[in-house]
């Protein structure tokens, strides 16, 4: 009888940041239900961002019931960057993934991300929004809450709601704590990796699902998110191409005005009107930050610009 060396085991760390959400249990269930490629081994890192380790018992109970290897890390600060950095510090595998604590993954999520990794350092999947049955029609049609990348060639940044990353490319880079109460820290993180030479791919069939909470199912929330996204975009320009920020601000002001006129002109067609309005607000955020304004604080008090 000949002896055959067993295949090497590929390990992957799945990172989950949590803050007082019971939904993290469903997230862990969906991770445990992954149909993995042959020779795969999963470990989960859960970073609890609460002041007290409030998620410890819930996470441990789920891990025991699911026979899931979980490393619970207490990362107190109520700052999402602190939690994400705690995950990065705990990663030991060659690749790691991020998923949010209010998301659940399709059973082939990891397999689809993994299949798209050849020749690249980072793979983004789709974080598909799930709208309530009574959500406004214009919101569902516009699908403002889904995180996706429309065309791979346009990728210059990304998000942590559904992503696979080769650990070696991260090095000492970390998420900016100054933006942990504001938002956009993941955009800047992936933009920095891109500027450092990291390569990206998009796996549109690698799906996770996120119910849209009542607090986010409003035009006001969408516009505030778009405004902050505009500020983040201006911050990227200021840090990477400081000589262009004035030109960008002027162009953004023109685009904001044009889009606002479009919103008024399309008033009888709510979906198109709101699309134009969100563009106007995005560009207004670019202008505001370019002129020295403060970041809109999406999660807490604002942080200083610059």
Does residue 255 share a domain with residue 139?
no
Number of structural domains (the chain) is 2
Does residue 233 share a domain with residue 104?
no
Q: Rounded mean pLDDT of 54-64?
A: 96
Does residue 179 share a domain with residue 73?
yes
Crossing angle for the helix pair 270-290 and 245-265, to the nearest 10 degrees: 160
Residues whose CB is less than 8 angstroms from the CB of residue 193 and which lie 6 or more positions away in sequence, other chains included = 121, 122, 169, 170, 173
Does residue 196 share a domain with residue 118?
yes
Range of the domain at 268: 219-290
The pLDDT of residue 154 is above 50:
no
One-character DSSP codes across 224-237: HHHHHHHHHHHHHH
Does residue 261 share a domain with residue 202?
no
Domain annotation covers residue 67:
yes
Q: In this structure, what are the phi and psi dihedrals at residue 3, rounded to the nearest 5 degrees?
A: -100, 130
Does residue 124 share a domain with residue 37?
yes
Q: In CATH, what number is assigned to the domain containing residue 163?
A: 3.90.550.10
**Of 146, 181, 211, which residue is a domain's last?**
211
Largest CA distance in the chain: 79
**Of 194, 211, 228, which residue is a domain's last?**
211
Q: Rounded mean pLDDT of 178-196?
A: 88
pLDDT, tens digit, 9 for 90 and up, residues 108-145: 999 999 999 999 999 999 999 999 999 999 999 999 99
| pLDDT bracket for residue 306 (50, 70, 90) | very low
Q: Which of 124, 91, 83, 115 has the alpha carbon at shortest distance from 207?
A: 124
Does residue 225 share a domain with residue 176?
no
Q: Confirm if 273 and 266 have CB atoms less than 8 A apart.
A: yes
Model pTM score: 0.88
**Burial (Cβ within 10 Å: 0-12, 13-18, ≥19) of residue 175:** buried
Structural tokens at position 191: 């933009």
Q: Which of the 8 DSSP states describes residue 293? A: P
| pLDDT bracket for residue 296 (50, 70, 90) | low
Domain annotation covers residue 269:
yes
């Amino acid at each position: 009888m000949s002896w055959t060396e067993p295949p090497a085991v590929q390990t992957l760390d799945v990172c989950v940041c949590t803050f007082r959400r019971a939904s993290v249990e469903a997230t862990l269930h969906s991770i445990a239900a992954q149909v993995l490629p042959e020779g795969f081994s999963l470990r989960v890192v859960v970073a609890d961002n609460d002041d007290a380790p409030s998620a410890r018992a819930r996470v441990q109970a789920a891990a025991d019931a699911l026979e899931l290897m979980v490393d619970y890390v207490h990362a107190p600060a109520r700052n999402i960057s602190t939690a994400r950095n705690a995950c990065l510090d705990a990663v030991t595998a060659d690749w790691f993934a991020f998923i949010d604590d209010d998301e659940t993954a399709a059973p082939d999520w990891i397999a689809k991300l993994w299949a798209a990794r050849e020749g690249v350092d980072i793979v983004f999947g789709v974080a598909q929004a799930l709208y309530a049955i009574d959500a406004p029609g214009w919101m569902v049609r516009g699908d403002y809450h889904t995180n996706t990348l429309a065309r791979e060639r346009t990728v210059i940044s990304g998000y942590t709601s559904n992503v696979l990353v080769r650990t070696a490319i991260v090095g000492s880079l970390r998420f900016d704590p100054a933006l942990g109460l504001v938002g956009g820290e993941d955009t800047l993180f992936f933009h920095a990796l891109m500027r450092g030479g990291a390569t990206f791919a998009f796996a549109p069939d690698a799906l996770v699902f996120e119910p849209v909470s009542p607090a986010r199912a409003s035009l006001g929330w969408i516009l505030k998110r778009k405004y902050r996204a505009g500020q983040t975009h201006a911050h990227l320009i200021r840090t990477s191409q400081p000589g262009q920020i004035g030109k960008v601000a002027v162009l953004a002001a023109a685009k904001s005005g044009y889009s606002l006129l479009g919103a008024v002109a399309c008033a009888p067609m709510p979906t198109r009107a709101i699309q134009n309005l969100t563009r106007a607000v995005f560009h207004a955020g670019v202008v505001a930050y370019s002129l020295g304004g403060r970041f809109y604080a999406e999660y807490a008090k604002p942080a200083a610009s610059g």
